[in-house]
Chains A and B, each alone.
Chain A
Amino acid sequence: MNAASLIQALRDRFPHAVQAAHSYRGDATVLIGRESLLEVARTLKEDPAFQMSFLMDLTAVDFSAYGKKRSPAFFAHSGVAVKPSPEIPDEEPWPGPPAPARFVVVCHLFSLPLKHRLRIEIPVEEADAEVDSLTSVWASANWLEREVWDMFGIRFHGHPNLKRILMYDEFVGHPLRKDYPVNKRQPLIGPIN
């Protein structure tokens, strides 16, 4: 299926779960509510129309600093902005970050038999940063969700072993959040006895 028909099929199947959709640069993307995530994920994996056998990637984006980046230099606004060449699919503009949620959990799915890709985005509020775990659907979600917890502090409900993976247990904070300073240092830890 191409991007447009994939989005249409999902909209028909889940009229209430799909909050928004776009296919910027040909990447089919749907925004779904977190309460229907597991149901949508199961259908996407098992339904013969979708057959999303791979959960290729699961990550998150912290949109709290979007559009607020400080200009790095005096001439910052004179940089070049490039418009796409006409042969690149660009029917739909990018709708922008899904306000007002701070985080977006992003899953990239791939169907091996049907060779199509889909991106699912789940907006997550900072106050209640918790999403259903996809470990029961795809085994690859296990470590990927641990990484998102480690880096962004988003919890996954029903995850069997939600602990830090790249950072050590004594690490304070979640480094890929935009309010975590890039040059912050934390005290060295010794061996645990």
Chain B
Amino acid sequence: MDPTQTPKSIPGEPETREMLLNVGPAHPSMHGIIRIIAKLDGEQVLDTDVEIGFLHRGFEKMAETVDYNGVMPYTDRLNYVSPLINNVGYCMAVEKLLGLSVPERCHYIRVIVSEISRITDHLTCVGAGAMELGAFSVFLYMIKAREFLWELVEMVTGARLTVSYCRVGGVKGDLPEGFEAQCRHALQETRKVLKEADALLTRNRIFVDRMSGTGKISAEDAISYGITGPFLRGSGVAYDVRKDCPYAVYDRFEFDVPVGTRGDNYDRYLVRMEEMEQSIRIVEQALRDIPPGPVLANPETGRPIPAAEMVDEGKMGRIAGIVDHRAVIDPTLEGAAKSQHGGIEAGEKRVFLPAKEDTYGNIEGLMQHFKLVMYGHGIRPPKGEVYFPVEGANGELGFYVVSDGTGSAYRVRVRPPCFAIMAALPKLLVGDMIADITPTFGSINMIGGELDR
């Protein structure tokens, strides 16, 4: 039957009528808060209306009221499954506005954390999607792998979710000691889990039946809707910002862009599974090629001083010895010591905070610090506007920043990747069964934080 036709009652048979079904806003399979009003004929979806905006927090309005680095915590909360990619995207947009280039090691660090975040995002998407189809153990395995990766994120940034790791002109701190070994271990564990999940899902009769052929979209439609990322690649279009408009140091790595052929949920699942493998490849290459960090043992004295002690000494004017020592900084600022500073910041004093030894140990460092953090001071980019796209976990994540030359942005606009996919949701659902709403919606990987901002 043509799904657009209204069913008519046939004499002698029971009367059929269209039914309106509300899915959400608060529904277990509506990851976050979303409302789908589906018009049904029996089990077939005739038409849908999608309502979003339940999680609107006014990100763009808030970004106009705080200074440039103050936007960072808000970007964490855009895509809260891969917050590090948002950090990187926003920082690179502001750096483009400033005309600033960061050191190579910093680029590598940003690539490593972005790819780790991409894996966690895909793990969540595939795991949650499988759970909604009844494969609960896959979800548990994938969350186990995500835990290994989030431990890495915690090790680097000091937080699991609200990371705020990047700074305009660099990153907050260098990679910690022992990161490489733990990272390789976590990637190995993730590989095992991916193999396990692949064995459990890829040829699983129930899973394939429900994923294959549902939520179809053609390449032309997907492009017209502005869909990017794994969703577009599932339809056979090999568009990846990392390949087509390379940023940071992505042009130095070897990786493939997996594409599907049919543009259905099953192909998108396969694309995501392969992309995790490719992200692991990128991280491994980055770990191999990253320019060496500082020697971690303090060459001069061998006696690091806790930063708090440095503050006390500095307050009393005993600063003579401080500059020669390495500061031991608490976990949230680990890696920001002087010996590590050169590798992670852009070397532009008017943008990046000084090393802690300098802040506590000499008046220039102290002034530099306060000129950046005091209300009404801080970074002032020149007047202008820039757009900078990065490859988010769901597709092209773009930041459009307009500056009026003051300490806070005049306008910050996010191009959220899943907004475009959600706009195509009515098209994806029409003609499918009501049970197909769940896998299709799951494969969108809708993240309320970036959709509603």
List chain A positions with a Cβ less than 8 A from chain B: 24-25, 27, 29, 53-57, 59, 61-62, 65-67, 69, 71-76, 78-85, 87-88, 90, 94, 96, 106, 108, 112, 115, 117, 119, 138-140, 142-144, 151, 164-168, 175-176, 180, 182
Contacts and interface: CB of A to CB of B under 8 A. Distances in A.
B314 interface: no
Given A25-B384, A54-B223, A140-B225, A72 B237 contact: no
A166 B56 contact: yes
Contacts of B204: none
Given A84-B382, A140-B224, A166-B453, A56 B101 contact: no
Contacts of B430: none
Size band of the B side of the interface?
Answer: 35 or more
Contacts of A164: 53
Contacts, number: 170
B317 interface: no
A25 to B, nearest CB: 5
Interface stretch (B15-23, B271-279, B411-419, B438-446): B411-419
B378 A80 contact: yes
B279 to A, nearest CB: 22
B62 interface: yes
Interface of B: 52-53, 56, 58, 60-62, 64-65, 96-101, 221, 223-226, 228, 237, 239, 244-245, 348, 350-351, 371-372, 374-387, 389, 396, 398, 400, 402, 404-408, 410-411, 413, 415, 419-420, 422-424, 452-453
A69 B322 CA distance: 41
Q: Is the interface of A mostly helix, strand, loop or mixed?
A: loop
A57 B400 contact: yes
Contacts of A56: 226, 228, 389, 396, 398, 415
Nearest to B349: A80
Which A-B residue pairs are the 8 nearest by beta carbons? A84-B99, A73-B376, A140-B226, A80-B350, A166-B53, A143-B423, A94-B384, A88-B99
Nearest to B406: A69
Nearest to B51: A165
Contacts of B58: 175, 182
Contacts of B384: 24-25, 94
5 contacts: A54-B223, A56-B415, A82-B382, A85-B101, A108-B398
Contacts of A83: 99, 382
Nearest to A80: B350
B61 A61 contact: no
Contacts of B372: 80
A164 B54 CA distance: 12
A112 B374 CA distance: 44
A106 to B, nearest CB: 7
A78 B406 CA distance: 11
A81 B385 contact: no
Given A83-B99, A117-B387, A166-B52, A138 B224 contact: yes
Contacts of A74: 376
A47 B96 CA distance: 30
A176 B244 CA distance: 33
Nearest to B65: A182
